[in-house]
Amino acid sequence: MFDYRRFALGKIAQVGPRFLPFADVASDTVPLSRLLRLSLFQVTVGMALVLLVGTLNRVMIVELRVPATLVAIMLALPLVFAPFRALIGYKSDTFRSALGLRRAPFIFKGTMLQFGGFAIMPFALLVLSGYDQAADAPRWIGLSAAALAFLLVGAGVHIVQTVGLALATDLVPEEDQPKVVGLMYVMLLVGMIISAFVFGALLENYTPGRLIQVIQGCAVVTILLNGIAIWKQEARDRTRAAAPRTDMPFLQAWGRLSARPGMIRLLAVIALGTAGFGMADVLLEPFGGQVLAMSVAETTRLTVVLASGSLLGFALASVWLQRGAAPVSMALLGAVLGAPAFLLMIVAAGMTATPLLVIATLLAGFGAGLFGHGTLTATMRAAPRDQIGLALGAWGAVQTTAAGLAIALGGVIRDLLLTDTTAASAYAPVFALEAGLLLLALLVAWPLRQAGPIGAAVGLVKPAGTPILSETQVRRAALHKA
Amino acid sequence: MSNDPNKVWPTGLTLAEAEEVHSYLIDGTRVFGVIALIAHLLVAVTTPWLG
């Protein structure tokens, strides 16, 4: 008799693993299509950033009439979690899993937090603004619910970005890392640009119902894109699962990482440079409007110019690094270009020359692109293979904190000076400060140029026993010198 | 189907691996449950239903 039961079980057993979200075997080569798919998580990160910092910033103040100070505090809440990125990375490095997974579970949890935050955010904001019957509700409900929503989204973004970057670093060989870094940055920018347009179009005629639709739609898109991004990316690893647990405490692991020559210096460079470039992000548009009397459409185009410059920087940095340039020289070049760009902005304000400002903006964006790409690639290269999560967590912690503090500081300095001087002289000190920070970054980064694990060109820091340079790399290096 | 006693039907995962996959499902259900609860509470505050 036909054994239908055995037949069915056999069929299901064949089909089963296809529906599990992790790969069965690690592949040596990762095709570009798969990297593109992985980089979708950066799109959701960009989307969350735009929604929080751009769209909701405005909606809360203008449409929901929440006091601006409260909005600023709420939006700054996720920054509180930024230093924990190092801890998140460490946790994922040492994660104990029967499947031998390290990254996918964290991305799953981070995505859940992001989704959860977006799911309750519109209602929390409506309660906070006292919409309908919520006006009678006690104040603390709206406050704590909104704070919870922003914290959840912030924590989710921190986890997804840190662990996602670590996964990307895990997947590709060292010589392909510049490609991945470029891809990740570009996808972040693409996500931000697209979602800014979409949110703007959707919220043109604001209604509370529309706000709920947009934010919750954002939640669904987040889970979909992140799901597609990590589907079957990480291979399960039975040897890692079976390996005896070596519990290195966080401080010891951090000590090991920071003891690597140049690591602390690199993080300092990242902090200084990110602060220098980041300050302009929010001040460029009001600067164009107040000092050079540009219209809203023109200042928006100024931001587009800045982003285009960055895209150009990422693209060129990818190409140059792929050809064997050292990541640190790339970061140095970015700072060298960025410092005069900000001085040029001051000059442009003095001469009220808009074309000069556009050129300076493009140059600043280009420098920021080179700098960002160079420092992230340097961090990836500098990390030991078993501490990639921790290293990228440290990168994220330093980068996010520096950018956040810089934006806040830039705004405060501008506002303080704006009260008793003309607009032009209120912005000049901020731009001078940015140029100063970049010069400082340049000084700190200078010693890193000497061949060390960080300044070195491709492939010089492989652990003992593996070939130091592959044949193609040797050829590339020879070409580069010639 | 394999004859390895550690492997569980039908995916060929070991028991520990299957339990881990299951734990993610449980975690997800719990988190989404709590989120749904909070969302309902907030909506009830804004536009009360049931009286």
My answer on whether A224 and A334 are in the same domain is no
Cβ pair A419, A319 in contact under 8 A: no
Residue A153 domain-assigned (yes or no): yes
Residue A291 domain-assigned (yes or no): yes
Residue A6 domain-assigned (yes or no): no
Q: What is the pLDDT of residue A14?
A: 66
Tell me the one-letter amino acid at A112: M
Cβ pair A310, A365 in contact under 8 A: yes
Q: What is the pLDDT of residue A72?
A: 84
CB contact under 8 A, A17 and B12: yes
My answer on whether A273 and A393 are in the same domain is yes
Query: What ranges in A104-138 are assigned the alpha helix state H?
Result: 104-128
Q: Which residue has the tokens 């990168």?
A: A395
Q: Which range marks the domain in which residue A335 is found? A: 253-482
Instruction: Show which residues on chain A lie within 8 Å of chain B, measured between beta carbons.
Output: 6, 9-10, 12-13, 16-17, 20, 97-99, 105, 108-109, 112-113, 115-116, 119-120, 123-124, 126-127, 131-134, 137, 141, 145, 148, 236, 241
My answer on whether A78 and A143 are in the same domain is yes
Has residue B35 got a pLDDT over 90? yes
Tell me the one-letter amino acid at A77: L
My answer on whether A296 and A413 are in the same domain is yes
State how far the Cα of A331 lies from the Cα of A317, in Å rounded to an integer. 9
What residue ranges of chain A have pLDDT lower than 70?
1, 9, 12-28, 420-421, 450-482
Alpha carbon of B35: minimum distance to chain A alpha carbons (Å): 6
My answer on whether A154 and A299 are in the same domain is no
Residue A1 domain-assigned (yes or no): no
Q: Identify the domain boundary among A179, A212, A237.
A: A237
My answer on whether A118 and A206 are in the same domain is yes
CB contact under 8 A, B27 and A109: yes
State how far the Cα of A290 lies from the Cα of A145, in Å rounded to an integer. 37
Q: What is the pLDDT of residue A80?
A: 86
Alpha carbon of B16: minimum distance to chain A alpha carbons (Å): 6
Alpha carbon of B21: minimum distance to chain A alpha carbons (Å): 9
CATH number at residue A407: 1.20.1250.20
My answer on whether A287 and A224 are in the same domain is no
Q: How far is CA A13 from the centre of its chain?
A: 40
Please state the domain count of chain A. 2
Residue A22 domain-assigned (yes or no): no
Residue A18 domain-assigned (yes or no): no
State how far the Cα of A12 lies from the Cα of A284, in Å rounded to an integer. 59
State how far the Cα of A303 lies from the Cα of A300, in Å rounded to an integer. 5
State how far the Cα of A417 lies from the Cα of A413, in Å rounded to an integer. 6
Q: Identify the domain boundary among A196, A213, A237.
A: A237
My answer on whether A479 and A331 are in the same domain is yes
DSSP B14: E
My answer on whether A193 and A268 are in the same domain is no
My answer on whether A227 and A334 are in the same domain is no
State how far the Cα of A211 lies from the Cα of A56, in Å rounded to an integer. 9
Can you name the residues that pair with B7 across neighbouring β-strands? Answer: B14
CB contact under 8 A, A17 and B11: yes
Residue A20 domain-assigned (yes or no): no
Q: Identify the domain boundary among A206, A237, A268.
A: A237
Residue A89 domain-assigned (yes or no): yes
User: Other C-beta atoms within 10 Å of A429: how many?
Assistant: 17
**Contacts with B47 from chain A: Cβ below 8 Å:** 132-133
Can you name the residues that pair with B8 across neighbouring β-strands? Answer: B13
Smallest Cα–Cα separation from A113: which of A76, A150, A147?
A150
Alpha carbon of B7: minimum distance to chain A alpha carbons (Å): 11
* Residue pLDDT, tens place only, A224-281: 999 999 998 888 877 777 777 777 888 888 988 888 888 899 999 999 999 999 887 7
* Number of DSSP helices (H) and strands (E) in chain B, helices first: 1, 2
A100 Rama class: left (phi>0) / alpha (psi -120 to 50) / beta: left
CB contact under 8 A, B20 and A17: no
My answer on whether A221 and A267 are in the same domain is no
**Contacts with A9 from chain B: Cβ below 8 Å:** 1, 9-10
Write the ipTM.
0.87
Percent pLDDT > 70 in chain B is 78
Q: What is the pLDDT of residue A461?
A: 41
My answer on whether A272 and A133 are in the same domain is no
